[in-house]
Structure 1
Amino acid sequence: MSTSTPDGPPAAPTAPAAADAPRSLRLEDWLIVLTMAALALITFVNVVVRYFTDASFAWTEEISVFLMIVLALVGGSAAVARQLHIRIEFYADGGSERRRQVLAQFGALMVALLFGLITVLSVRVVWDDYRFEETSPGIGVPQWWYSVWLPVLCALTTARALQLWARLRRTAAPSAATEART
């Protein structure tokens, strides 16, 4: 699966599922763009206010931390859907085609399992934040306003991992049938 360049060593193998990733990733892509824009705007406003008044907005740090967490979770979801998540390439890209397919499917299932578990457990965190009326340390708004997004975004990553797994199974089925004939 690796391609060679005219002057040098073979290029890294390409992930088959990354090329046919779902077009429905516009949601994640737009959320990333909007989150980055909000982070840049908040930081810019705080720097300008601090420069001209020697004071800063106290709420900017709390909102920025929240937005960075959202950015990481949404980016992780997009990476999983495109099969660009972290893996050990020595194992994931080595060996036979069948071995790579099995490992990719196993990885997608493990990501789905992990983020499904985080989704379930973080619902409890949100419920506790709501029930005990926790407030955020900087602004004093209800903490669940922030924590409610953890199970939502982890569920999105779980769904994307399951989509990847299904896509990998569909692409593995024709190649397995071809290998059985030979």
Structure 2
Amino acid sequence: MSSTPPQGPVTDASVSVAAPDSDEPRSLRIEDWLTVIVMAALALITFANVLVRYFTSSSFAWTEEISVFLMIVLALVAGSAAVARDQHIRIEYFAEGGSAARRKRLAQLGAVAVALLFGLIAVLSVRVVWDDYRFGETSPGIGVPQWWYSIWLPIISALIAARAVGLLIRRSRETPASEDSAGDAQP
């Protein structure tokens, strides 16, 4: 089998698809690896529970509790990666319309809103962790201290807030003129 190179001129659009995004932080590997690890753990736990249930007609009691915890961690870690990559939910009609200066201000406003929201969640969830610790709450499934689970909410929320501040800094450094020329190159 021989493969022939594509015929015709190579456009900037086809090259930019394969090129890595220079605006993306290199430290996103943390979120990417955490996502892989959590997904692998979820798959292994679920597979082990299915095997045990199939062969013994009973199941591990702890798998549901751990799986729910891991799914929450997965959602928060993915949210952090989405904020850092500027892929969070927005209304494209408003976010991509108008002048480059308007788009820049809206991007900055979105980053500030995300940073404030997750900063507030981080601060308020510390109280939840403290209450879990102070009152000795235990998890319903396996009876471990509840704060083992709840401690991750303020930590990952602070990470998301930091990612939003990083996005705000990156968006603030951009000049509207460079955004217009970058937007013209796209089909």
Cα deviation for residue 173 of structure 1 reads: 6.9
After superposition, what is the alpha-carbon deviation per residue over 1:135-175, rounded to whole angstroms, capped at 9, x for unaligned? 00111100000000000000000000000000000113775
1:132 maps to 2:146: no
TM-score, normalised to structure 2, is 0.82
Deviates more, 1:18-27 or 1:133-142: 18-27
1-side partners of 2:175 and 2:121: how far apart? Answer: 29
Alignment match of 1:23 (pick from 3, 22, 26):
26
Q: Which residue of 2 aligns with 1:41?
A: 44
Q: Over aligned residues, Cα RMSD in angstroms?
A: 1.6
Q: Which residue of 2 aligns with 1:83?
A: 86
Q: 2:56 corresponds to which residue? A: 53
Provide the identity percentage.
73
Aligned residue number for residue 71 of structure 1 = 74
Q: Which residue of 1 aligns with 2:97?
A: 94
1:166 has 2:169 as partner: yes
Structure-2 separation of matches of 1:94 and 1:58: 51
Instruction: Provide the secondary structure at the position in 1 that maps to 2:63.
Output: helix
Q: Which residue of 1 aligns with 2:17?
A: none
Q: CA deviation at 1:118?
A: 0.1
List gaps (5 residues or longer) in structure 2: 1-20, 180-187
CA distance in 1, matches of 2:109, 2:141: 42
Amino acid at match of 1:21: E
Q: Structure 1-normalised TM-score?
A: 0.85
| Cα distance in 2 for residues equivalent to 1:45 and 1:135 | 24
Whole-angstrom CA distance in 1 between matches of 2:154 and 2:144: 19
Please state if 1:121 is matched with 2:118. no
Runs of 4+ in structure 1 deviating by more than 4 angstroms, as ranges, are: 173-176
**Do residues 155 (structure 1) and 158 (structure 2) align?**
yes
CA contact (8 A) 2:100 2:177 kept: no
Mind listing any 5+ residue stretches in structure 1 that lack a counterpart? Answer: 1-17, 177-182
How many residue pairs get aligned? The number is 160
Give the secondary structure class of the aligned counterpart of 2:174: helix
Q: 1:21 and 1:37 mapped to 2: Cα distance?
A: 25
